[in-house]
Amino acid sequence: TGRFTFDPGFMSTASCESKITYIDGDQGILLHRGYPIEQLAEKSDYLETCFLLLNGELPTAEQKAQFVSTIKNHTMVHEQLKSFFNGFRRDAHPMAIMCGVVGALSAFYHDSLDINNPQHREVSAMRLIAKMPTIAAMAYKYSMGQPMMYPRNDLNYAENFLHMMFNTPCEIKPISPVLAKAMDRIFVLHADHEQNASTSTVRLAGSSGANPFACIAAGIAALWGPAHGGANEAVLTMLDEIGSVENIDKFIAKAKDKNDPFKLMGFGHRVYKNRDPRATVMKKTCDEVLGELGITNDPQLQLAMRLEEIALTDPYFKERNLYPNVDFYSGIILKAIGIPTSMFTVIFALARTVGWISHWKEMLSSPYKIGRPRQLYTGYAQRDIVPLDQRK
């Protein structure tokens, strides 16, 4: 290819240097700023993980209190933002709403969009992390035709999200600590994953100098696809379609058939050629949540477990190192919490916002160039226009 390396899908191209997240796909290791994901899921919480991703270190008690308080300062959205929702059909996919409304935030903060000003970058990061749960819950309430709920700053991040999702002005129920903890853990497990498609999209958009809200909207759009964040929704749709254990073999055969576009959703990963460590924590959380909710013999969980068992012993999946990924069990937990399937990818976007913004900030904090991949041209050589009346 002459002067360029041809690498479709970026199979072997590092697009940047980064100090944020390390993955060893062969060993199934995921570290954020050096800390294993298992420890973060067990001993930390989402906002602490946000601080870590953004700043490089876990916060001290004082720093954590300050960070939480700053986030709480920004949880509300401008009243005018509500009008954007009314432009959508009630049955719009909430990810479509998220792409539009998050991008629209840029129109509200003209005075702090100088990407070369570190304070502007900081306040944009805080605004995005704080407002994503509010906007996500508003998208859900809009689809339900229910009044939108204001954030409550006496609640923690996950509790507040569940409050805005499930409470109504006429009935404010306390948020179950078990469900809030599970929600928080799902946020931690999705917080960052180095240069995946959506993060690379955010970096690429950011490399042109675009504002952070526009960049995050681009990330949301890239995340939506079923090969990426859309997989969590697709897993549940697939489990519904499979229906019962007797049908598993048929679907495994479809997944192996190269003439059939069907793939086993929630299986396989570009980087992990061993178990996705997030999937292990997710499965454990799933067992805990269903246990604490007293849900025994959840048919979809039974089906998922059997599917995993069968796939993991099948030579096709073994040869290709296809294991369950983070999205395989997350949907079962989200469903148990009461979250509708169409909101699953929105929750992924909410949680990944900190990863996107951390990478955007990292890029802008040191010298960078506009991202401008080259191509391998396979079209026509130069030719001349034939007048219209002579074309065949």
The residue whose two tokens read 């853990």 is 185
> Rounded to whole angstroms, how far apart are CA atoms 204 and 210?
9
CB 31 within 8 A of CB 52: no
Nearer to ligand CMC, 144 or 253 (CB): 253
CB 166 within 8 A of CB 28: no
Structure tokens at 332: 């079962």
Q: Which residues are catalytic?
A: 228, 269, 327
- Binding footprint of ligand CMC on the chain (CB under 6 A): 9, 196, 227-229, 231, 255, 263-270, 320, 322, 325-327
Q: Which residue is nearest to ligand CMC (CB)?
A: 268
Nearer to ligand CMC, 47 or 265 (CB): 265
Structure tokens at 221: 């759009």
> Rounded to whole angstroms, how far apart are CA atoms 1 and 377?
10
Helix 94-104 × helix 344-364 angle, to 10°: 30
> Rounded to whole angstroms, how far apart are CA atoms 276 and 269?
8
> Rounded to whole angstroms, how far apart are CA atoms 350 and 354?
8
Nearer to ligand CMC, 136 or 155 (CB): 136
Residue 285 C-beta: closest distance to ligand CMC, Å: 16
Residue 222 C-beta: closest distance to ligand CMC, Å: 10
Say what the alpha-carbon torsion angle 83, 78, 362, 372 is, to the nearest 10 degrees: 30
Nearer to ligand CMC, 74 or 270 (CB): 270
Query: Edge to edge, what strands does the sheet with 21-24 contain?
Result: 21-24, 29-32, 35-36
Structure tokens at 16: 């940047």
Residue 235 C-beta: closest distance to ligand CMC, Å: 7
Nearer to ligand CMC, 183 or 326 (CB): 326
Structure tokens at 325: 């990924």
Residue 180 C-beta: closest distance to ligand CMC, Å: 23
Residue 392 C-beta: closest distance to ligand CMC, Å: 39
Nearer to ligand CMC, 139 or 326 (CB): 326
> Rounded to whole angstroms, how far apart are CA atoms 280 and 45?
18
Structure tokens at 22: 């390390």
Q: Are strands 35-36 and 29-32 parallel, antiparallel or unpaired?
A: antiparallel
Residue 320 C-beta: closest distance to ligand CMC, Å: 4
